[in-house]
Amino acid sequence: MAYQEALYDLCTEKMAQDDYWFQIEKLKFTQEKAARILGQLEPRYRARVVHHRRTFGELESQMMEFPAGHDDYLDVDAMCFSMLQPLYAAAAAQKSVDSEEDSSYYDSEAGETGGL
């Protein structure tokens, strides 16, 4: 936490120095690191939803050593999945709406031939 606070202060100082401002949002998580990792990563890897397109040595090493070894990369990944969760829900809801709209179009407007 001390590193994050120092980084926030450095960024704010640099923005003032350059007169170039952007929003920085401090992230707060209520779960402990291990609980975040187990809750966000483990189910996705077990279900084979997450795939690596190339080798990520340190990340994969931390996965093999968890919970005994370092887990910072795992924690970052878990935080990313946690922050993306609302987007997953919104995308799923939109897909459902799109499916219903497509279905009603093909059922009512296109006729028996499918409109083509």
If you average pLDDT over residues 65-84, what whole number do you get? Answer: 92
Full-model pTM: 0.63
Q: How confident is the model at residue 100 (pLDDT cuts 50, 70, 90)?
A: low
Domain ranges of the chain: 30-97
Please give the residue that has the higher pLDDT: either 18 or 100: 18
Reported confidence tier of residue 30, pLDDT bands at 50, 70, 90: confident
Give me the pLDDT at residue 13, please: 96
* Paired tokens of 53: 């397109």
Residue 103 dihedral angles phi and psi, to the nearest 5°: -60, -45
Alpha carbon distance 26, 24 (integer Å): 6
Query: What is the per-residue pLDDT for 36?
Result: 92
d(CA 79, CA 41) in angstroms, rounded, equals 10
pLDDT (mean) for 7-12: 93
Residue 112 to residue 59: CA distance in whole angstroms: 53
